[in-house]
Structure 1
Amino acid sequence: MRTDVVFAGGGMVGLSLAIALARAGIQVVVVDRETPESVQSLAYDGRASAIALGSKRVLEGAGIWSEMADHASPIWDIRVADGHPLRGVSPLFLHYDHADVGEDPFGWIIENRVTRQALHKVAARTDGLTLLAPASVARIDRDADQALAVLDDGREISAALAIAADGKFSKRREEAGIGVSGWNYDQVSMVATVRHERDHDGVAVELFLPGGPFAMLPMTERRCNIVWSEQKDRAERFMAMNDADFLKELTLRFGDWLGDIELSGPRFAYPLSLQQAERYTDRRFALIGDAAHSIHPIAGQGLNMGLRDVAGFAEVLVDATRLGLDIGAPSVLRDYERRRRFDNVLLAAVTDGLLRLFSNDVPPVRAVRDLGLATVNRLPPVKHFLMRHAMGVVGDLPRLVRGEAL
């Protein structure tokens, strides 16, 4: 096969970029080892993701959002506070109200399963996009003229550019000799969905507990997605509990602000780490999404980082195509890395700093951070900037993030 771009991996970020490029007239082939049916099932991934306003615009520009909108729950308010399972919630807190910065919500909470369903539905009807799944890339041979993806079954796909979108344990990144820096956290993220008596009114809550952050994210149908980060040994004990005992521990932290709660669906556990690729590009080769970077979910920015990669890279490749340039040329790939690396490294540093500040129960540190939250809450200019940053609409924005066409 001959194409313009070949993707190794077809997850949420990779398939989003593939759709955006194909809609702009760039031929793409996506090779993914999972079947479309398996990645769209409830058993595959129990997580939900926060889609910031800027990321929603990216998905709109790629023609994907319309397939997700009915299942998206808007975030109208964000409340952040220190907490303790026994002492309760600190009276000092930080509150973001969307009305302070406009009419749009901060973002939306959407199940990853729903996002994948939308992506595969749109991909199936997008001209210029070929999805090979299940199929696996055995290796990618690259020279000055082309990238050649050799599949496990012997098929070959030649392209001007190969993109690795195969996750944080990327084999294609390793094959290209690109190292990573970072570390594993002594935390596991436990994920579950609960139903509750009262409506959440679009309020997202993040409590900073001694073992790690505990997020309650508003979903449709009177549900919340729980992202509970806890020390590994304790997380293993919690995950080994039966549903009734696990729900008791969950309720102790969730509180009664939404009335009685019950588990809705299976539980999942994910080890946490911070990782940054030493570079994002090589000869006729680039990394995107988790293959390039992964962060702690403390601020719910992982998928948003990947979608900003999509917006930045799509703009670079589409502009190069319109100018008649070689989309695999070093100058084109350097432009992509220049646009995305600083933003990704900065956000990784911020989330790591927040985690280290809040994942402890040292009294003097707790007092300082509580005072810091309360102080920011009383400084409108600072708070407004942080709110717009949470919406993903701060900085030098690609066209898709601005709501403009590619």
Structure 2
Amino acid sequence: MENKILKYDFLIVGSGLIGSLLAISLIKKKHKVLVIEKEKISNKYDDQRTLAINANSRDFLESIDMWRDLKKEQKDINQIIIKTHYQENESLIFENNNETMGSVIFNKDLLAKSHKYLLKKKSLLDKTLVGLEELNKQKIIKIKNKTYNFEKVIIATGKEIQKKVNPKYFFKGSSGHRAYVGFFYHSFNHNNKAYEYFTKNGPLAALPAPYKNNTYSTFIYSTKDEISFVELKNIIKKNFYKTHGKINLSKDFFSYKISPYLFNSINVFENLIFLGDCSRSIHPVAGQGWNLGIKDIQGLNKLIETEGLSSKNFNKLFYYQRKFESSIYFFFTEIINKTYNSNSPITKFFGKASLKVLKNFNFIREVFVQQAMGKNKIFD
């Protein structure tokens, strides 16, 4: 007796935030979805990292009913304040009078809620691994003694894609930085303000942390130098003592190598769709990496509505539509990082000039505000 073939609209490989949220959005639109995860799904979520969610991503989470519980624990971002090391006495302020710029939450809270939903729908299988080559070659796949036929296969396994694919298919950036991420406690109220300081050795950002009181902040600092805890503590104190008061840096920080890239996936896996950090990784200077993953989800859902899953050009249309915005952010963050971390007279001139334009021309500044909030329609 032949095995019964189970027909599904989507197979999603990877149950991280982007893969899980995509699955939820598709299920709510009555699509049949299966998510597979190579690791064991635990009911313990110990990840202490935070997530900066822009206004567009927050709206998306509300649309799939994932925000209602989270908003009780989140911290709003009302202003983004930008400074450079060669104009320390001047600042550029991004804010919106109609709504907050974004929010900060803990990764684990959103991931736990997403997994709970998928497990309840019986749409998530853990400890399951299928190779990319196999997924690219055929729609009928055997998973845990069951045979499936998937209309579309989506890969959302994050940056580990670099370990599985020939490097020639990646366009690499020139960062060479390490990112240092953690928390610090301070005596002043942060007043729901986020800060981006372009120091001599790299960009440093501080955001309100999602704790009950307003005396905890999260930071990310990227630099080419390897630094100790004491050095990192001194950098945080030097740059934030005026705005945050007395500072105590938590020892529970971590670091990782920043490796920006664009993945030319259509040239190697034409039958697969790549989302989030699978398709690109950008320097965290703009704080938009995860939010671009949400734009991927929104773009995919929109393409389903306009083209339908049976469209022969579906995968290519999605790839080239999302490649445009990904490339803009990729090169923009590369330029920003080099411009404001340079001490050459030419880059200083252009850096000062760009800040002056943004400060003095409301229309241009509003474009950047809308872009930071994820609500600029130019890429839609």
* TM-score band, normalised by shorter chain: 0.7 to 0.9
Distance 1:367 1:22, change over 3 A: same
Matching residue of 1:214: 204
Q: Given that residues 90 and 370 in structure 1 are in contact (C-alpha distance below 8 angstroms), is that contact kept between their aligned partners in structure 2? A: no
Distance 1:139 1:382, change over 3 A: closer
**Is 2:314 the partner of 1:332?**
yes
Give the paired residue count.
Answer: 371
Q: Given that residues 106 and 210 in structure 2 are in contact (C-alpha distance below 8 angstroms), is that contact kept between their aligned partners in structure 1? A: no
Q: Deviations over 1:68-108 (max 9, x none)?
A: 21222111111111138xxxx61232111222xxx211111
**Is 2:207 the partner of 1:224?**
no
Distance 1:163 1:178 in 2: 21
**TM-score, normalised via structure 2 length:** 0.88
Q: Given that residues 174 and 334 in structure 2 are in contact (C-alpha distance below 8 angstroms), is that contact kept between their aligned partners in structure 1? A: no
1:1-400, aligned counterparts within 5 Å? 1-37=6-42, 40-42=45-47, 46-83=48-85, 90-99=88-97, 103-125=98-120, 127=121, 130-141=123-134, 146-149=138-141, 157-170=148-161, 174=165, 179-183=169-173, 185-221=175-211, 222=214, 223-231=216-224, 234-235=225-226, 237-238=227-228, 241=229, 246-264=232-250, 266-280=252-266, 282-320=269-307, 325-326=309-310, 329-362=311-344, 365-395=347-377
Percent identity of equivalent pairs: 21
Equivalent position SS for 1:349: helix
Q: In structure 1, give the amino acid aligned to 2:175.
A: Y
Q: Deviations over 1:237-256 (max 9, x none)?
A: 32xx4xx6643343223323
Greater shift, 90-99 or 296-305, is seen at 90-99
Q: Given that residues 81 and 373 in structure 1 are in contact (C-alpha distance below 8 angstroms), is that contact kept between their aligned partners in structure 2? A: no
Give the drift of 1:261.
Answer: 2.1
Distance 1:253 1:157, change over 3 A: farther
Higher relative contact order (CA 8 A, sep 6+): 1
Q: Which runs of 5+ in 2 are unaligned?
A: 1-5
Matching residue of 2:3: none
Q: Deviations over 1:299-345 (max 9, x none)?
A: 10101110000001022235555xxx52xx43222332243221111
Give the drift of 1:168.
Answer: 2.2
Distance 1:226 1:215 in 2: 5
Distance 1:178 1:331, change over 3 A: farther
Distance 1:303 1:67 in 2: 20
Q: In structure 1, give the amino acid aligned to 2:89.
A: P
Give the drift of 1:208.
Answer: 0.2
Q: CA RMSD in A?
A: 2.7
Q: In structure 1, give the amino acid aligned to 2:50.
A: A
Give the drift of 1:348.
Answer: 1.1
Give the drift of 1:137.
Answer: 2.1
Q: Which runs of 5+ in 1 are unaligned?
A: 399-406
Equivalent position SS for 2:175: strand
Q: In structure 2, give the amino acid aligned to 1:315.
A: K
Q: Deviations over 1:350-382 (max 9, x none)?
A: 111111111223355335413431331111111
Distance 1:30 1:384, change over 3 A: same
**TM-score, normalised via structure 1 length:** 0.83
Q: In structure 1, give the amino acid aligned to 2:315.
A: L
Distance 2:299 2:168 in 1: 21
Q: Given that residues 50 and 108 in structure 1 are in contact (C-alpha distance below 8 angstroms), is that contact kept between their aligned partners in structure 2? A: yes
Distance 1:14 1:22, change over 3 A: same
Distance 2:351 2:178 in 1: 23
Distance 1:358 1:31, change over 3 A: same
Q: In structure 2, give the amino acid aligned to 1:379.
A: F
